[in-house]
Structure 1
């Protein structure tokens, strides 16, 4: 009916065919498919050729336009190349595979109809595998399960994997009878036969079968009695014998002698060890149930085990029996304990502290329990000395001996007897030849120590070693080697630890000096690096210092130190240092630069770097600062010295400008000037500057307390007026030196002639008395003014002769004033100021700074502001003007360079006349 449809409707037609093929018919069965494949589910040999045919049914051909040319083949839904197709006829198509290795399942035949609609026609399952190989290596063993029960187990090699279901059968037969096959259950290479017969030859073979073929092994012909593996002896027991070197074994055999005769194998070992020893096979080659083992060590525990097999050696050994142990009895110790000594002479060279050390005997040497040790000391340097004996239970003993040669004998005792003696000679010195070429070599977990023997015959060697530690003493361990040995293995050596090893040769008449060497079983890199510091830092060098690492931190021999240093932005410089050094100097550094330095310690197995350390080089080198500072200091000292010399030469000038001498008025006698001609003066407070020529005379007077009566009240008023003038114009009055009559100041004098020789030239009086010329009938006015002259201080202490002649001196001064003051005013040669005593040297520039009126007495009366005041001020002014214009001052001594008015100091103090002629300041 598909032909009735147009080509565009092939989809519906294909769906119709599927329904016809897969839907049930009216009778309840399935409709026959449109084709099938030959062969149906084949089993193929791997690698062989294979051809399959797809045959279409005629009914399907009539139903629709389906032909063999439309058939396509697929393997697991993968299209087979069309080169492998072949169209045999209108209904048959074949596909050929040259190698079935690539063939997989399922293999399907499909139709590609018009419209490219693919429909599955038929499919088969393809199995690919191999034929079985011939089984090989067939072997059988008869196991004894009990006294009367035996089973035979056979094994073989099944060969290659066939990828197919392969069946193995174990077959056996007698010449006249074939027994049932034995089919393996779990594995394909083993099978057990329970029904066997001894003393009959049995043929045994294996047969393998699968879909591709069958194979048989070579037959095995054997009597089962010859392949028996008996049970091991049971109920083994061990008992000690009469001698300390034998043990007796007893056991039970599980196989009857009527079945077979047995031989045995006995092994034994010391408990705690792994090596087994065996009894010679010829001693146990006959059937037996007991055996005595000889040549054992006394007082030693042994473990025993036994096995058996057929006496003629045909068959298999039984398993080893359960281990049983037994101990031999005690015997006399076989050798003396090894003995050594350590001599301590630190307390006194004449007396020795001898530490005797010996090792406990091994069990096979002690042959029992050591109860005690007997130590005997003989002084060989003094044969008459008594022999000393000590019974010791420990393995060491300490003696106090004098310096000399001694022989020490040591014996170990147990319950049976004593050991042979061990002899140790303690010489006065190690005078014999030492060993040579002492060396070490690590060997796995042991350290081998070797040496070259001396030329002399050596009885034995003593090897000492101890763990070197920085925190505790070296605990010595030691062992003894025979004289013919030139190397031993030291056990118990730990890795990464330093050991000090010493070898002593012992001779018949003494011992040689010890030779020592340090060694490591295994080295590692240091656990930390050295910490470096600076000891001294200069401009271009730095001295670095560090401490050696402790023995525990080294973990090996330090081969070298490495110093690594650099600036912040510079390359790192590496310096290698000998390991014995603890100090190194870095040179060629840059001044005033920050450096970072670290240090590395290296062993044979690696290196470790310590922490970083920084330092800064100095800006100046050694001596540079001194080279700068010393010349500067010397130059400064030279300048100071020159300045001092200059100041010393110009001390007067400097003294005048910087610190003028101010005398202490309390220690001087105030001078008085007595005017001769009274005159009217103008003491106006507004006019502080006195005209030149108004002063007629300057004199130093001393006023006693009694002299105030000679002045009338009229005489005192001008003084009060001048005193008041001073107080109102003190700050801006000029000195007397400004007038021509005061250009030559005079020295002050004492109140007597003796004052000439007692005046102090180092101090001056800066006060003077200005005596004004009054009018004809007036009392002269005394005006006291401050003077800037450098007059020497008057004697401040009142001498007894001054008090005695005080009144007379005053009278004489007043008379002198009247005589000089009464001279004619027109005399131009008369000086303005005259002295009553000798005038010392004074500066010409000393001036009277201020005129001050001083009145002797208990009190002073203030002057009025009326007519009388004006009269007195006019009189003073006229006197000063007259003195300046018409007179010339002629002092006895005049200084060449007088000071100007501006250069004089302006310091004024008010003055009062005190009793006795002294002026307090």
Structure 2
């Protein structure tokens, strides 16, 4: 680093303080100028000794800081005020030593802790630290002795031989170190060769042979010098010649010989050479070498023997000094050559596949043979000759086939045959390959066949049979789903019991291996085994599904992994299943199974199941599958549904039987009898005609428009209790006429169709009321057309029908002037109640019971009683007398015209006046006519 110093001006100015500092600085400046040195440099207050030293690592070092006298006079600075620092780090005072008032020293026992810069500092007045001086310290190591000095002479041409020497420079010194290669003859020194590159080599441009040369290395740096051991040698002994060139390769007369020729690039006057020749087959990496004793003499050509016929070779050559002193040259450029063809050295390997035929007397034989390897073919194979001859009677001439493929299919009988295959190239034929095709594999087979991966190959072993085996045939093929099993085989001698497969055996693939023993007179059956060169985990796990799911069990099913997915032998399956919030359960399954039943499951629960397949190298899991167990088990639903259905059927059956037994009661309440107007006897009501009349079909019983409305009002029988005895008195008169009215009454009061007549009013007090009285009593009204524009009159008619008449007949829109509705009713009665001459007995209504006074006097009396008001309005109608008289007058008038109106007594309360839209007048009807009440 640069030296650091402090001038007197800087130190003293920093020491002044107070109001007079300006004057004092001016004084000092003048004083310092008088102390100036030549060149205008300011004198320093001190310096350090030694100046920029170079130190050895780990050595002792002492530095001195010397103050100038001028600083002592003006700055009051002394040695005891000096502070030493390394990189601004204060050195401990234990390492200081005050030599005198101007000199202070510092000592370092180990320079390894020393760093640069090293400075000398003082504390001036005011405790201000100022730097006096500083030095740069360089640390390093002295050079070591160079070792392993060696030299080599590289031939560059026939006349130029530079020499290069190399050495081991030793440890790194951390300093600038210089290496020099020195050389000399016994009486002459040569210029030094200064190393410039890596400090471990140097080249002398030219050397002289046949003279000893002394060589050594000298090294130096700031801490010292050193030199290597000295070498003395003749440069001809360390020459590395140039390699031969213009190498050529030519075919010889024999198919196993190639001739090489080349040129040497060093004069035999300088040195004699020996050679190395190497060669290899094209596309191979292993080199072969000609024996060194065959090429230990000077030469420019050589014939290489023992080569393979019809094979391409690569050659290279190098040379060195004949006595072996010095260095081998580099290998020459490579050249190739091809040997000539020779006849095949061996016959092809033959095997067969026998397919059973439908005919027992014949079979199909597929012959196969392998193409010869190049070192066996010794040329290009042009064709194969196959000869088949019978070995059992009847004998026949051999069959010969010339093919250019490696297979042949024959149709042979079930006899023993011998097959011979010969390969031909341009030179000649190979030795024959013989295969025996026996009638059957009846000989002893091998035993205990086994496989073992070893050294990246698949070894197959077996136990030999007791018989004398001629040879073994090992047959194998790769099992795959994507391709057929392509058969490969190899022949092995009969004296071995194990061998490596010679094909391209791949890891993680399954092979089917079969061993056949061949005998002189037959062969044994093949014994097979599956094997892997290397196993791995399966590529995927099994996909599990449910075959059947119950309440507490589930039947799982899956398919075996394909042979391409197994990657090894499947040793076991494991099924894992769990619920959503439950622990996972594992079950181990035999690898031969494809179905398993999970039991003790929870009903109506979602399960997740997966399956893992394991080989010797580990397992892999398949996809997850979910299923839900059933809520009910097998038969539980039937146990519930069948009783419920049976109970339902029983209830339905009992209901049907009950309805059948109570059909009358049900009919009464649900669908009572409806009167049939077509069977009514209302057409027979006429004062002039007896009970049974024969009318002319052209004469209508009732003129058109006689009836305008017919209505029925039901009153419960129990309601009669509400009537007082006074109210029922008018009805007592009717009891007397019971016997006479029963045989002659007919009208709308009867029940419909075939219902028998019933009494509507009790005629005795001996308890017959309940038996003879209907549960309900209806009112039927007959509305007559007005006579000569008079207002029509509604009258009562007793009816025991349990249902009202047609709804359209019960109501009338307008009784005073309802001509449209009256006309419709008239048309209805014309259609349904008309009588013809031949059927005068069919009534429009069948009357259950009529109560009619026995004579006109009774009728007149009854009517008079009602009119005079003695009845006290037994029916509760509240009708005025004028209205009754008018109505009776109209009735009497209409009765003379052949119209009949009947009145029936009523049990119970009759409807009130407010409930009736029409006025009702009770009337008594007899066959002779109508009498007013």
TM-score (norm 2): 0.74
8 Å Cα contact 1:238/1:324 also seen in 2: yes
Query: In structure 2, the residue corresponding to 1:438 is in which secondary structure?
Result: strand
Q: CA deviation at 1:393?
A: 0.8
1:386-785 aligned within 5 A? 386-443=397-454, 446-485=457-496, 486-647=498-659, 724=707, 727-732=709-714, 783=747, 785=749
Q: Does 1:906 align with 2:803?
A: yes
Q: CA deviation at 1:920?
A: 8.6
Give distance in 1, aligned partners of 2:738 and 2:34. 176
Query: In structure 2, the residue corresponding to 1:28 is in which secondary structure?
Result: helix
Structure 1 residues 863 and 122: alpha-carbon distance in aligned structure 2, compared to 1, 3 A threshold: closer
Q: Deviations over 1:692-731 (max 9, x none)?
A: xxxxx9x8x6x6555999xxx9xx67x999x839x43345
Q: CA deviation at 1:298?
A: 0.8
Q: CA deviation at 1:97?
A: 0.6
Q: CA deviation at 1:400?
A: 2.6
Between 400-409 and 302-311, the greater mean CA deviation after superposition: 400-409
Paired residue for 1:9?
17
8 Å Cα contact 2:279/2:288 also seen in 1: yes
8 Å Cα contact 1:184/1:190 also seen in 2: yes
Structure 1 residues 556 and 664: alpha-carbon distance in aligned structure 2, compared to 1, 3 A threshold: farther
Give distance in 2, aligned partners of 1:23 and 1:557. 107
Paired residue for 1:692?
none
Give distance in 2, aligned partners of 1:216 and 1:301. 55
1:789-808 aligned within 5 A? 791=755
Q: CA deviation at 1:543?
A: 1.4
8 Å Cα contact 1:342/1:355 also seen in 2: yes
Give distance in 1, aligned partners of 2:552 and 2:384. 72
Q: CA deviation at 1:423?
A: 1.2
Paired residue for 1:805?
none
Q: CA deviation at 1:479?
A: 3.0
Structure 1 residues 865 and 608: alpha-carbon distance in aligned structure 2, compared to 1, 3 A threshold: farther
Give distance in 1, aligned partners of 2:335 and 2:31. 86
Structure 1 residues 649 and 226: alpha-carbon distance in aligned structure 2, compared to 1, 3 A threshold: same
Q: CA deviation at 1:606?
A: 3.9
8 Å Cα contact 2:697/2:837 also seen in 1: no
Structure 1 residues 184 and 853: alpha-carbon distance in aligned structure 2, compared to 1, 3 A threshold: closer
1:130-279 aligned within 5 A? 130-279=141-290
1:853-868 aligned within 5 A? none
Give distance in 2, aligned partners of 1:424 and 1:663. 116
Q: CA deviation at 1:410?
A: 0.6
8 Å Cα contact 1:771/1:781 also seen in 2: no
Give distance in 2, aligned partners of 1:157 and 1:442. 50
Query: In structure 1, the residue corresponding to 2:80 is in which secondary structure?
Result: helix
Q: CA deviation at 1:238?
A: 1.4
Query: In structure 2, the residue corresponding to 1:53 is in which secondary structure?
Result: strand
Q: Deviations over 1:371-427 (max 9, x none)?
A: 111111223344423321111111222223333332211100011100001112222
Structure 1 residues 382 and 306: alpha-carbon distance in aligned structure 2, compared to 1, 3 A threshold: same
Give distance in 2, aligned partners of 1:848 and 1:211. 154
Q: CA deviation at 1:789?
A: 8.5
2:368 to 346, 350, 357: 357
2:124 to 106, 113, 118: 113
1:784-863 aligned within 5 A? 785-787=749-751, 791=755
1:23-42 aligned within 5 A? 25=36, 28-42=39-53
Q: Deviations over 1:849-873 (max 9, x none)?
A: 889999xxxxxx9795999x99x99
Q: CA deviation at 1:521?
A: 3.4
Give distance in 1, aligned partners of 2:670 and 2:589. 70
Q: CA deviation at 1:305?
A: 1.4
Paired residue for 1:291?
302
Give distance in 2, aligned partners of 1:578 and 1:642. 60
Between 437-446 and 75-84, the greater mean CA deviation after superposition: 437-446
Q: CA deviation at 1:664?
A: 7.9
Q: CA deviation at 1:288?
A: 1.8
Give distance in 2, aligned partners of 1:296 and 1:4. 101
Between 20-29 and 351-360, the greater mean CA deviation after superposition: 20-29
8 Å Cα contact 1:446/1:491 also seen in 2: no
Give distance in 2, aligned partners of 1:97 and 1:852. 154
Give distance in 2, aligned partners of 1:707 and 1:237. 153
Give distance in 1, aligned partners of 2:25 and 2:505. 92
Q: CA deviation at 1:772?
A: 10
Q: CA deviation at 1:135?
A: 1.1
Q: CA deviation at 1:781?
A: 7.7
Give distance in 1, aligned partners of 2:56 and 2:37. 43
8 Å Cα contact 1:783/1:852 also seen in 2: no
Give distance in 2, aligned partners of 1:648 and 1:480. 100
Give distance in 1, aligned partners of 2:103 and 2:492. 99
Query: In structure 2, the residue corresponding to 1:32 is in which secondary structure?
Result: coil
8 Å Cα contact 1:21/1:34 also seen in 2: no
Paired residue for 2:877?
none
Structure 1 residues 117 and 151: alpha-carbon distance in aligned structure 2, compared to 1, 3 A threshold: same
Q: Deviations over 1:591-610 (max 9, x none)?
A: 12222223333333343333
Give distance in 2, aligned partners of 1:27 and 1:482. 110
Q: Deviations over 1:773-815 (max 9, x none)?
A: 69xxxx988646422685599xxxxxxxxxxxxxxxxxxxxxx
Paired residue for 2:326?
315
Q: CA deviation at 1:119?
A: 2.5
Q: Does 1:916 align with 2:927?
A: no
Structure 1 residues 381 and 5: alpha-carbon distance in aligned structure 2, compared to 1, 3 A threshold: closer
Paired residue for 1:83?
94
Paired residue for 1:96?
107
Give distance in 1, aligned partners of 2:631 and 2:290. 91
Give the CA RMSD over aligned residues: 4.4
Q: Deviations over 1:441-460 (max 9, x none)?
A: 34565433333333333333
Query: In structure 2, the residue corresponding to 1:333 is in which secondary structure?
Result: coil
Give distance in 2, aligned partners of 1:14 and 1:140. 73
Structure 1 residues 240 and 16: alpha-carbon distance in aligned structure 2, compared to 1, 3 A threshold: farther
Give distance in 2, aligned partners of 1:60 and 1:851. 162
Q: Deviations over 1:105-160 (max 9, x none)?
A: 22222222121222222222222221111111111112222222222221111111
Paired residue for 2:896?
none
Give distance in 2, aligned partners of 1:57 and 1:120. 14
Structure 1 residues 595 and 5: alpha-carbon distance in aligned structure 2, compared to 1, 3 A threshold: closer
Give distance in 2, aligned partners of 1:481 and 1:22. 113
Q: CA deviation at 1:191?
A: 1.4
8 Å Cα contact 2:781/2:795 also seen in 1: no
Q: CA deviation at 1:203?
A: 2.0
